[in-house]
């Protein structure tokens, strides 16, 4: 995808999917800035930003302003930062529902709001990560699925809000992503049926590209063979 010279911010960039997306975007010639809640070395060719708590609206606003000041603008944002928990309602805690909201919805809201002030008048892109479970939740996934449903509704509402500014807002809805933690948690699963981080990155890069300029408010399932 033609993303050369675009300034792209990727949150959760030090995780498995974040590394795949940021590396793939950088390989196209984009300037990619990695944002994460911890410090660390990003993927090759990717610039790092100081550790940032995206649940802190003021800190997020300041960090994104610093990125825009350094690079002139923010053309696109990929909201990957988030978290997961598996708990049945009977054995779980109400705090888990609050934590999933904080990690998955609040971070995306704060990052999107902070980025909007620096997207050029010609338009830009926002891509969120929802989940297939937001459509049909399995047992033990109530808190997580509810938060990812919130991401889907954020995507739809923000897409409508930003149409007039030529800013597209879309979300991918993966099933199980093939990561080391997921393999460890489900050692007997058929890993080949899962979605690879690279395959999901390909879909995200399409949504960031000029070729996707007519697509907004879409919730795109990326479910492999699960």
Looking at the DSSP bridge assignments, the partners of residue 10 are 34, 78
Q: Does 1 fall in a domain?
A: no
Q: Does 33 fall in a domain?
A: yes
Q: Does 139 fall in a domain?
A: yes
Question: What pLDDT does residue 2 have?
Answer: 79
Computed over every residue of the chain, the mean pLDDT equals: 97
What tens digit of pLDDT does each residue of 73-99 get?
999 999 999 999 999 999 999 999 999
Domain CATH number, residue 207: 3.40.50.720
The average pLDDT across 50-78 equals 98
Q: pTM (2 decimals)?
A: 0.96
Q: Does 2 fall in a domain?
A: no
Range of the domain at 116: 7-222
Q: Does 195 fall in a domain?
A: yes
Q: In the structure, how many helices (H) and strands (E) does the chain have? A: 7, 7
The answer to whether residues 169 and 158 touch, using CB atoms and an 8 Å cutoff, is: yes
Res. 141 pLDDT band, cuts 50 70 90 = very high
Question: What pLDDT does residue 123 have?
Answer: 96
d(CA 210, CA 128): 17
The per-residue b/e assignment along 83-121, b for 16 or more CB within 10 angstroms, e otherwise, is ebbebeeeeeeeebbebbbebbbbbbbbbbebbbebbee
Res. 1 pLDDT band, cuts 50 70 90 = low
Element (DSSP H or E) covering residue 23: helix 16-27
What tens digit of pLDDT does each residue of 98-135 get?
999 999 999 999 999 999 999 999 999 999 999 999 99
Q: Does 191 fall in a domain?
A: yes
Q: Does 178 fall in a domain?
A: yes
Res. 154 pLDDT band, cuts 50 70 90 = very high
From the CB of residue 193, how many other CB atoms can be counted at a distance below 10 Å?
Answer: 13
Res. 225 pLDDT band, cuts 50 70 90 = confident
Q: Does 92 fall in a domain?
A: yes
Is the pLDDT score of 12 beyond 90? yes
Overall domain count for the chain: 1
């Amino acid at each position: 995808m033609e993303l050369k010279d675009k300034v792209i911010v990727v949150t959760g960039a030090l995780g498995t999917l974040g590394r795949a997306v940021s590396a793939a975007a950088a390989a196209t010639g984009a300037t990619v800035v990695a944002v994460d809640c911890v410090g660390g070395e990003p993927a090759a060719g990717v610039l790092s930003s100081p550790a940032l708590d995206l649940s802190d609206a003021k800190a997020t606003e300041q960090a994104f302003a610093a990125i825009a000041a350094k690079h002139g603008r923010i053309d696109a944002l990929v909201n990957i930062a988030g978290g997961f928990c598996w708990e049945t309602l009977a054995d779980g805690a109400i705090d888990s529902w609050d934590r999933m909201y904080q990690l998955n919805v609040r971070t995306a809201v704060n990052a999107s709001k902070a980025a909007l002030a620096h997207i050029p008048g010609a338009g830009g892109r926002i891509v969120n990560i929802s989940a297939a479970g937001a459509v049909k939740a399995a047992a033990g996934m109530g808190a997580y699925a509810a938060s990812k449903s919130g991401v889907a509704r954020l995507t739809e509402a923000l897409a409508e809000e930003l149409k007039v500014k030529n800013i597209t807002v879309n979300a991918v809805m993966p099933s199980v992503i093939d990561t080391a933690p997921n393999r460890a948690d489900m050692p007997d699963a058929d890993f080949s049926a899962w979605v690879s981080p690279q395959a999901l990155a390909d879909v995200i890069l399409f949504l960031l590209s000029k070729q996707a300029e007519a697509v907004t408010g879409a919730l795109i399932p990326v479910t492999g063979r699960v």
